């Protein structure tokens, strides 16, 4: 499975997922019918495709409940990714849905899409 979405700032967004969350770059493409993009993946997980149009078409702001939820096996792994993201200058944001309070940490990527890091798969 692959989730694809547009970006206003492709390289900053790729850096967030690659350097901050440890996604691997699967492939890149340039100027394919006006689109450039990067396909990223976590080992054993679905792929995330981030694209940017050459004409600068800007996607609208995502809703605070548009979430990419990453379930990790241990709270130690959640803490490690949180520290890595914070060292890169990213800060936790308060989730819109109170369900996530106390069970997860939430960050916004450079395009304001929210990523939830959690150990509880419910």
Q: Tell me which residue of 2, 121, 115, 19 sits closest to 62, measured CA to CA.
A: 115
Under CATH, which architecture does the 67-118 domain have? Roll (3.10)
In degrees rounded to 5, what are phi and psi of residue 103?
A: -115, -10
In degrees rounded to 5, what are phi and psi of residue 6?
A: -85, 160
CA of 72: how far to CAs of 7, 40, 59, 92, 111, in Å? 25, 17, 29, 17, 23
Quick one: pLDDT at residue 59? 66
- Paired with 67 in beta bridges are 114
2-53 against 67-118: fold identical: yes
Q: What pTM did the predictor assign?
A: 0.91
Residue 31 to residue 9: CA distance in whole angstroms:
15
Q: Where are the domains of the chain?
A: 2-53, 67-118
Under CATH, which architecture does the 2-53 domain have? Roll (3.10)
pLDDT single digits (tens) 38-73 = 999 987 788 999 999 988 766 677 999 999 999 999
């Amino acid at each position: 499975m692959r989730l694809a979405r547009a970006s206003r700032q492709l390289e900053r967004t790729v850096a967030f997922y690659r350097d901050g969350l440890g996604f691997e770059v699967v492939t890149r493409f340039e100027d394919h019918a006006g689109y450039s993009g990067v396909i990223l993946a976590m080992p054993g997980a679905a792929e995330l495709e981030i694209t940017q149009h050459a004409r600068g078409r800007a996607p609208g702001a995502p809703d605070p409940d548009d979430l990419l939820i990453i379930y990790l096996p241990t709270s130690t792994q959640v803490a490690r990714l949180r520290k890595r993201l914070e060292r890169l200058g990213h800060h936790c944001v308060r989730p819109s849905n109170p369900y996530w309070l106390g069970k997860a940490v939430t960050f916004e990527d450079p395009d304001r899409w929210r990523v939830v890091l959690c150990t509880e798969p419910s």
